[in-house]
Amino acid sequence: MQAVSVRASMRGAILTRDSLLADSIINEVQSLCIIEAVEREPEQILARLADGQFHALFVHVQTEGEDQAFGLAEQVRRVHPDLHVLMVGDTGNPKQILRSLRLDAADYLSQETGKRHFLHALKRIAGIEENSRNGFIYSLFSHKGGQGVTSLSINVADQIFQIAGGKVLLLDLNLYLGGTGAALNMVPDFTPYEVLRDFSRIDEELLFSAIFRHARGFYLLPAPVEVSDADRVNREQLTSMLAMLKKYFTHIVIDLPHDFTGRTLAAVEASDCTLLVMEPELLAVKSAQQVLFFFQELNYGENRIRLVLNRKDSSSTLQPEDVEAVMQQPLFATIVNDRKTMSRASRKGEVLAIAHHNRPVTTDIRKLTSSLIGIDSKGAAADKKIFAFLRKLWS
């Protein structure tokens, strides 16, 4: 019970014209924070803040009067720098999120989901971390372009969600030439990198309101549209960003660029498993061999680097056994060559499992995914029950 006495020690204020919102904040945070002032006008709030020691201020931002709300928040940030300002929007509005970050607000919360997020945000501010998840990271890589890294990443992410449920994120690290957004037929109007750079101030609410969710159920963090955004993410930020994302996602699938920049290496380092993708073609296999040696030299560990032969074809000179002999490592998975199906799906901006779920190429990717997450997807009844249970647990 000691925790309770520590928790009830904050004092807070709210600016809103919405008494229902005020009531829900008051009720939700009461174990941690006593709300001593609820005001409708910015001047009234400023007056209240002047006469007491407050720790947190919730500022309701409505589209109408948005500038006024942000104006107040800015004033408060300067005059009372120790006070935590939490912006509360009616929906997860990207412009408001960015504006909140720029003004160094402690958080931006949207009312949309109806979850108990006010308390969660305050706990974070007070340094009372809640138990967090520790998701898996799987990355896909090839040094040579055009081996199918993007196509496989998309479909592996989709399959993980279909098999295991949970919160699955497809992360496109091709910061200059991202392909996942285009391959899935979606142009995000807001690139979350800008938000993610400020990872230390991001919580679950903000994260999920900023990240696009595909109709199939997995989340997608596409590459930034503007090239300049890419340069703002360095190796250290990427490492911290992945550590943060692991807390919120059960599985993260990374579509890696074909380079050896610090960002790429940081992602491989953070991955539970990296799939090295190659086609059965001499130059591609040679390049993969060099990559494997390089990763081994960096001590990434053999069992964390797995080999995937994509576009397997009975007519190609190099057969799976040959590739294994060259690589001196067994293949983790093989994916059959099926140009027609692949290009049909990508033309439509769809994942394979929608219109092509019975094609061998789709089955191969499903098998690869099952091995990756260590779950047999053949669908025994018992498994289905477990998946249903897992889904509930993670949703």
Give the footprint of ligand ADP on this chain (CB under 6 A).
Answer: 142, 145-151, 179, 310-311, 335, 337-339, 342-343, 346, 361
For 177-214, the DSSP string reads S--HHHHTT---SS-THHHHTTGGG--HHHHHHHSEE-
**What one-character DSSP code corresponds to residue 18?**
-
SS3 377: coil
Q: Which does 148 bind (CB under 5 to 8 A by kind): Mg ion, ligand ADP, none?
A: ligand ADP
| Choice between 147 and 191, CB closer to ligand ADP | 147
Report how far residue 302's alpha carbon sits from residue 330's, in angstroms, rounded to the nearest whole number: 11
| Choice between 269 and 338, CB closer to ligand ADP | 338
SS3 136: strand
Measured at CB, which residue is nearest to Mg ion?
150
* Smallest distance, ligand ADP to C-beta of residue 41, A: 54
* Smallest distance, ligand ADP to C-beta of residue 345, A: 8
Q: Which of 105, 97, 73, 66 is nearest to 209 (CA)?
A: 97
Collect all residues with Cβ–Cβ distance below 8 Å to 317 and sequence separation of at least 6: 280, 282
| Choice between 108 and 141, CB closer to Mg ion | 141
* Smallest distance, ligand ADP to C-beta of residue 145, A: 4
Contact 203, 107 (CB under 8 A): yes
| Choice between 112 and 281, CB closer to ligand ADP | 281
SS3 38: strand
* Smallest distance, Mg ion to C-beta of residue 179, A: 4
Applying CB under 5 A, which part among 144-152, 189-197, 313-321, 324-332 lies near Mg ion? 144-152
* Smallest distance, Mg ion to C-beta of residue 182, A: 10
Contact 275, 243 (CB under 8 A): no
Q: At 352, phi and psi to the nearest 5?
A: -65, -35
* Integer Rg of the chain from CA: 24
Q: At 46, phi and psi to the nearest 5?
A: -60, -40
Report how far residue 75's alpha carbon sits from residue 81's, in angstroms, rounded to the nearest whole number: 10
Q: Does 42 bind Mg ion (CB under 5 A)?
A: no
Q: Does 150 bind Mg ion (CB under 5 A)?
A: yes
Q: Does 142 bind Mg ion (CB under 5 A)?
A: no
How many residues bind Mg ion, per CB under 5 A? 3
| Choice between 56 and 169, CB closer to ligand ADP | 169
Interface mask toward Mg ion for 73-112; x: CB under 5 A: ----------------------------------------
Please, what is the angle between helix 42-50 and helix 66-79, to 10°? 20
| Choice between 150 and 271, CB closer to Mg ion | 150
Among 135, 165, 166, 179, binds Mg ion (CB under 5 A): 179
Q: What sign does the CA torsion over 87, 90, 96, 98 have? A: positive
Contact 258, 175 (CB under 8 A): no
* Smallest distance, ligand ADP to C-beta of residue 375, A: 22
* Smallest distance, Mg ion to C-beta of residue 258, A: 8
Applying CB under 5 A, which part among 80-88, 99-107, 145-153, 364-372 lies near Mg ion? 145-153
Q: Which residues are at the interface with Mg ion (CB under 5 A)?
A: 149-150, 179
